[in-house]
Amino acid sequence: MAGTGDAAAGAGARATAGLLCRLLAERPAYRSRWEHRELRRAAGPLSASAVARVLALHLWDTGERPDTDTDLARRLKDRVHRALTGEVLSRETLEWFIGAFAMNGADAMELRALRSGAPPRPDAVSGGGGSGAVSHTLRMPQYLPIRQRHRTVAVFERHVIGPDGAPLRHRTTRAVMACEDGVAAFPCRLPPGAVDVTVLRGARAGARREFPGSTPVVELVFPAPLEAGQIVSLEYELGYGPGRGPVTEYRRVAHARADNVDLVVEFPATARPARLWWATWDHHRDGAPLSESPAALSPDGSVHRFLPALEHAAAGFRWTW
């Protein structure tokens, strides 16, 4: 039994190390931190010595190590190397990485889960479409009027088009995980044209807040604040005002990572599109498609796409009448 446990722990450390290396090498916010501490160009995708310097600065700043310990970065280099190769990756060392690189809640949670034995995401940090995932298409961060304190672990969107070609309603079923303690509400940002939100399950509609440069945000208040790692399921429906003209696209935008994204657009029998494409964009609302491929309606007049993940990206359907 001990051998089985050791093997599982080793597999968890290697999986965690693999994701950690990809995050440090491919996330611009994390990569820039160690690149600024790189004294000479590394032969591989990561510089262990530069990463060790980032960790040393963090430990000095937090007071975990005295700043008189000027040899700290050199002594940490071996520990960093063993962590990045998956040879030894203690909980303490992982927390140093998370703190030193100011990792977002979703990335930190994924790393901690892997180290504890959860299976790795097959598409983690994909460059654009591995295993169907779509990531990093947006050319700039989307403006978030309220800081995101949750992670979407599953979401089902059904966008219904009316007989006049305009949006009729939009229903969402979503499972969200708190990334920190005390998450009391989910900020539901109304898309253009939506006038209200009806909560069907998992929360109640709270304050409606207006922000410059943003559509209104309605807080969907949970029955009780969530602790970090706690998951709640929500179901709500958006209603659209009258007088809107026909639309020719539906795009789903994710600022942080959303896992298990299921998208359906439903057309009535009297308003079927002439041509239809699956597309990605480099902007949450404007711009031309970055990529597109033909899509087909099912006999019931709907079009469907499942994504293992959507991260810092805009994807969806566009059509002509």
Produce one character per residue of 221-246: b if its CB has 16 or more CB atoms within 10 Å, e if not. Answer: bbeeebebeeebebebbbebeeeeee
Question: Taking the model in full, what pTM does it have?
Answer: 0.60
- pLDDT per residue as tens digits for the range 190-203: 888 888 899 999 99
Q: What is 132-320's CATH number?
A: 2.60.40.3140
What residues does each domain of the chain span?
2-120, 132-320
Q: What are phi and psi of 3, to 5 degrees?
A: -65, -40
- pLDDT per residue as tens digits for the range 209-249: 887 777 789 999 999 999 988 888 899 999 998 878 899 99
Which sign, positive or negative, has the C-alpha torsion 170, 174, 178, 184?
positive
- pLDDT per residue as tens digits for the range 50-84: 999 999 999 998 888 988 999 999 999 999 999 99
Alpha helix segments (H runs only) across 87-148:
91-100, 105-115
